[in-house]
Amino acid sequence: MDVGIGLPNAVPDTGGRELTGWARLAEERGFSTLGTIGRLVYPSYDELIALTAAAAVTERIRLTTSILLAPLQKNAALFAKQAASLDRVSGGRFVLGVAVGGRADDFAASEVTEKGRGRRLDEQLDQMRQIWRGEGLHGTDPIGPSPVRPGGPELIIGGRSEASFRRAARVGDGWIMGGGSPDMFASGAAAVDKAWQDAGRTGRPRKLSLAYFSLGPDARAAADSYLTRYYAFIGEAASQIAAGAAVSADMVRSYTAAFEQAGCDELIFMPCSAEAEQVRLLADAIQG
C-alpha cells in the first residue's frame, strides 16, 4: 500500500513558504502523493492552486485532490482546462479526485443548487472527458492543453452512496473514502468492486482513503482544535472525527496496517497543523 500525506492547504493561516516547504519535504521523505481537501466557505487555499505551487517545487510525488467539490465548478470547460494545465505543468503527476459535496453554504456562495448535484457531476465529467480527448465542446475547436495521459488525468470518485460507486465504475479510474474506519473502507471497496464488474470494466479500480493525523507533544490539542473547527457544521460528530485522528506513532502504524489489510491501495494522512516537523514525525512513524 502507498502512503501519502496531505498538504496543509486547509489549515488556516498556512503561509505560502510553509506550503511549498512542506511539499519539498514530503517528496524527500518518500511519500507517494500530496493530497488536498477543500471547501469554499472556509479560510483554505484553493486545491488546484495549492497543488500547482507544490508541482513547481517537486519532481516525483503525485498531486491528488482528495477530494475537490466538482459541482461548485460551474464551467466544465474551464475546469477541464485547469486540470489539464496542472497535469501538464506537473509532468502527468496530477490525480483528480472529485465528489458531489454537501455543505449548503458552499453551494449558496457558488449560486448553485444542491438539488440534482449528482446529475450535474455526471454531465460535467462526461464533458471533461470529451475535452481531454481533444474533441472540443459544443462544436468548438479543441480546448487545450492536452493532458499528459491520453484521455485525461487519473480520475478518482469520492462518496459512500451507491450512486458514487456506479459513477466510479462508469467514468472513474478508482474510488476514495473521505474518512472512516478500515471496516467502513472494506465495505465501500467491496461495493465499488461489484459496481465495476456490473459495468463490465476490466482490471480493477484503485482504492484510496483519508485519515487525519497530528503528532508531537501537542498532538491531541492540535487535532481537536483544527478538526472541530473544520467540521463544526456537523455538530457533535466533529468531536468524533477529532477523536479518531492518529495522535501517536503507534496509531499511525495501526491505521496503516488496518487499511492495508482492508484492501486500500493508497492511504493519505491529512495534517491538523502546518508545522514542517509533522512531515518528519509521520515519516518516522511509518518507517519505524
Cα(81)–Cα(38) distance, integer angstroms: 19
**Domain CATH for 131:** 3.20.20.30
Residue 233 counted as domain residue = no
Could you tell me if 264 and 217 are in contact, meaning their C-beta atoms sit under 8 angstroms apart?
A: no
User: β-strand 154-158 against 94-99: which pairing, if any?
Assistant: parallel
Could you tell me if 23 and 93 are in contact, meaning their C-beta atoms sit under 8 angstroms apart?
A: no
To 5 degrees, how large is the angle CA 91–CA 48–CA 17?
90
Range of the domain at 140: 2-207
Residue 142 counted as domain residue = yes
Residue 13 counted as domain residue = yes
The total number of structural domains in the chain stands at 1
Residue 173 counted as domain residue = yes
To 5 degrees, how large is the angle CA 123–CA 127–CA 134?
165
Q: Bin 80: left if φ > 0, else alpha if -120 < ψ < 50, else beta.
A: alpha
Q: Which of 66, 270, 32 is nearest to 175 (CA)?
A: 66
Could you tell me if 134 and 146 are in contact, meaning their C-beta atoms sit under 8 angstroms apart?
A: yes
DSSP-derived letter for residue 74 is -
Residue 223 counted as domain residue = no
The confidence score (pLDDT) of residue 102 equals 87
Residue 218 counted as domain residue = no
Residue 238 counted as domain residue = no
Q: In which residue are the cell numbers 511509518 written?
A: 286
Q: Take residue 259 and report the three cell numbers written for it.
A: 487499511
User: What tens-digit pLDDT sequence spans the chain (288 residues)?
Assistant: 999 999 999 999 999 999 999 999 999 999 999 999 999 999 999 999 999 999 999 999 999 999 999 999 999 999 999 999 999 999 999 999 999 998 999 999 999 999 999 999 999 999 999 999 999 999 999 999 999 999 999 999 999 999 999 999 999 999 999 989 999 999 999 999 999 999 999 999 999 999 999 999 999 999 999 999 999 999 999 999 999 999 999 999 999 999 999 999 999 999 999 999 999 999 999 997
Q: Detail the DSSP E strand segments found in the chain.
A: 2-6, 33-36, 62-69, 94-99, 154-158, 174-177, 206-213, 266-271
**Against a cut of 0.95, is the pTM above it?**
yes
Cα(243)–Cα(234) distance, integer angstroms: 15
